[in-house]
């Protein structure tokens, strides 16, 4: 049954949703072995491929083309040509395709989540949450497409009319990381397509299959050829592909999510063509628990904030700061929660809520943080070792007696390791929280209303969770300050990254 027929069923059949679920494509039919350029599924020009491996058990999931600058140039050219017609479609037409795409992702949620868990490792619950979150950007931007308004200004001379119109900027080069292989694409792509831009996407080497699966559904949703192109590349070719995207005069904007280190490279490369650049980079989130906090809620929040996706999110709590009066109680309760609530294993297995890390290098990096902290005086309360389940697993860990000179306080841990530092006063907590050159998210728990306002205002971050540890949503603006990035994604401002303002002065009226 074709997808169009499926969608028709959805409208005509009372039990449409159930039917769609029953007929949803299995995960294996989403495993593509070709990349997507100009509406065609294509191999690398030289036939090279690379393997995609399940980090939980090291099984081969598939192989994809290992593309380089030749294919990237083809994708840029295709997106450049497609821009000429896509930008002239009406907002309503673009909106309809995005909405259909959203529905297709929703109706294939379980299969997409299974694929995501296989290539990324996160638990099925985390994968379902990501697919839902990822799809929500297509729904959100399908609505925002219709709300790209210009402005008319009162002129200072009577014979003029002054107005600003907003137009799509052009081809967007989109580079995304492995930790949210679907949502980091849809958050950018939804906004870009909604306003009339076309795109060339380079997903991470570890997770190209989810990107291609989303693309497959875009094709079914009716995306014209060339509007979205996906280049798959191993890290061998990544820097060449990235450089071409940044330096090509046919690419109007670069939107990148990933490490601050790579973000700086792309920013500098984009200077050659004075390109618009949007960067969603790394964080080092403080999670402050004040003595007035509801400790139950703080522990629940800490568990979700630290351990979802095995601690591999850019807004995961990185540094727990706990006030001296409640320190022992909080440590005890968090340790119990870690021991009792976390089940480590293959994310596909029932009951597992914490999967492997993305690869062995990530495990070694986490282990280095723990070794450094312990050497400098930290104490292991729970875990603190590589996990015997496999080379990509690390034990959920709790370290106390942590001090600001330890590496785990200065850098993103990006793993299931909670580190706690003790503080005495609000001023001291804020000073420690802000003593970093990045500022993505920050969290705190307090029942003192005045303190809630003060701390929310003082934290040098782009996003604050006040008595809340899960911040992300399609309707808000996601992004950081300092070296955590440039620009915002999602929400009503998300489209601005893909729009140019044009001032028109009409004289002789």
User: Judged by CB, which is closer to ligand NAP: 313, or 446?
Assistant: 313
CB of 409 to ligand NAP, least distance (A): 16
Using the rule CB under 6 A, is 119 a contact of ligand NAP?
no
Name residues contacting ligand NAP, limited to 259-278 (CB under 6 A): 259, 262, 265-266
Q: What is the token pair recorded at 131?
A: 């697919």
Nearest to 255 by CA among 488, 77, 84, 477: 488
Contacts to ligand NAP from residues 200-219, by CB under 6 A: 202, 204-205
Least CB distance to ligand NAP at residue 96 (A): 28
Q: Least distance in Å: CB of 438 to ligand NAP? A: 9
Task: Classify 160 as helix, strand or coil.
Answer: coil
Select the residue interacting with ligand NAP from 103, 127, 210, 257 (CB under 6 A): 257
Which residues 279-338 are close enough to bind ligand NAP by CB under 6 A?
280-283, 314
Q: What whole-number distance in Å separates Cα of residue 404 and Cα of residue 371?
A: 15
d(CA 200, CA 220): 18
Q: How many whole angstroms separate alpha carbon 348 and alpha carbon 485?
A: 33
Q: Which range in 48-56, 118-126, 129-137, 179-187 contacts ligand NAP by CB under 6 A?
A: 179-187
What whole-number distance in Å separates Cα of residue 496 and Cα of residue 187? 13
CB of 281 to ligand NAP, least distance (A): 5
Segment contacting ligand NAP by CB under 6 A, of 19-27, 164-172, 253-261, 297-305: 253-261
The minimum distance between CB 22 and ligand NAP, in angstroms, equals 34
Spatial contact of 196 and 94, defined as CB atoms under 8 Å apart: yes
Shorter beta-carbon distance to ligand NAP: residue 143 or 247: 247
Examine residue 426 and tell whether it contacts ligand NAP (CB under 6 A).
Answer: no
Question: Nearest distance from residue 284's CB to ligand NAP, in Å?
Answer: 9
- Nearest CA among 207, 209, 215, 206 for reference residue 186: 215
For ligand NAP, the closer CB: 6 or 317? 317
Q: What Å distances lie between residue 118 and 27, 124, 257, 433, 504, CA to CA? A: 10, 9, 22, 36, 52
Residues 6+ apart with CB under 8 A from 302: 287, 289, 317, 320, 334, 337, 418, 469
Q: Report the C-alpha gap between 470 and 260 in whole angstroms.
A: 22
Cβ neighbours, 10 Å, residue 70: 12
Stretch that binds ligand NAP, among 109-117, 191-199, 252-260, 336-344 (CB under 6 A): 252-260
Residues involved in catalysis: 280, 314
* Binding residues vs ligand NAP (CB under 6 A): 175-180, 184, 202, 204-205, 233, 235, 238-239, 242, 257-259, 262, 265-266, 280-283, 314, 412, 440, 480, 485
């Amino acid at each position: 049954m074709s997808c169009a027929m499926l969608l028709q069923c959805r409208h005509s059949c009372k039990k449409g949703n159930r039917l769609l679920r029953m007929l949803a494509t299995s995960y294996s039919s989403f495993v593509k072995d070709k990349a997507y350029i100009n509406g065609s599924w294509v191999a690398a020009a030289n036939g090279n491929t690379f393997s995609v491996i399940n980090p939980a058990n090291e099984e081969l999931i598939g192989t994809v083309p290992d593309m380089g600058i030749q294919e990237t140039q083809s994708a840029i050219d295709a997106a450049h040509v497609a821009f000429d017609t896509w930008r002239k479609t009406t907002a309503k037409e673009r909106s309809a395709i995005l909405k259909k795409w959203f529905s297709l992702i929703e109706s294939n949620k379980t299969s997409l989540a299974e694929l995501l868990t296989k290539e990324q490792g996160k638990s099925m619950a985390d994968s379902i949450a990501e697919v839902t979150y990822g799809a929500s950007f297509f729904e959100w931007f399908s609505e925002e497409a219709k709300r790209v308004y210009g402005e008319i200004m009162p002129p200072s001379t009577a014979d003029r009319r002054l107005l600003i119109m907003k137009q799509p900027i052009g081809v967007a080069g989109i580079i995304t990381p492995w930790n949210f292989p679907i949502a980091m694409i849809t958050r950018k792509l939804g906004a870009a397509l909604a306003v009339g831009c076309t795109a060339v996407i380079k997903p991470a080497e570890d997770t190209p299959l989810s990107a291609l699966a989303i693309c497959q559904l875009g094709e079914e949703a009716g995306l014209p050829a060339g509007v979205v192109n996906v280049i798959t590349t191993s890290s061998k070719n990544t820097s060449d592909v990235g450089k071409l995207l940044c330096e090509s005069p046919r690419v109007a904007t670069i939107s990148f999510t990933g490490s601050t280190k790579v973000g700086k490279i792309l920013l500098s490369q984009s200077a050659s063509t004075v390109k618009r650049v949007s960067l969603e980079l790394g964080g080092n989130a403080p999670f402050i628990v004040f003595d007035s906090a509801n400790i139950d809620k703080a522990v629940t929040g800490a568990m979700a904030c630290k351990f979802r996706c095995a601690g591999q999110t850019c807004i995961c709590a990185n540094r727990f700061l706990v006030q001296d009066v409640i320190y022992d109680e909080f440590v005890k309760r968090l340790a119990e929660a870690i021991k009792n609530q976390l089940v480590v294993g293959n994310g596909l297995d029932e009951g597992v809520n914490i999967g492997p890390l993305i690869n062995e290098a990530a495990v070694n990096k986490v282990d280095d943080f723990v070794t450094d902290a312990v050497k400098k005086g930290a104490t292991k309360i729970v875990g603190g070792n590589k996990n015997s389940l496999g080379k990509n697993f690390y034990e959920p860990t709790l370290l106390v007696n942590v001090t600001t000179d330890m590496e785990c306080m200065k850098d993103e841990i990006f793993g299931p390791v909670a580190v706690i530092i003790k503080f005495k006063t609000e001023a001291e907590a804020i000073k420690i929280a802000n003593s970093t050159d990045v500022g993505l998210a920050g969290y705190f728990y307090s029942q003192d209303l005045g303190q809630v306002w003060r701390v929310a205002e003082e934290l040098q971050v782009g996003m604050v969770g006040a008595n809340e540890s899960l911040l992300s949503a399609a309707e808000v603006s996601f992004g950081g300050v300092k070296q955590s990035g440039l620009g915002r994604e999602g929400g009503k401002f998300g489209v601005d990254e893909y729009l140019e303002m044009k001032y028109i002065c009409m004289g002789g009226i």
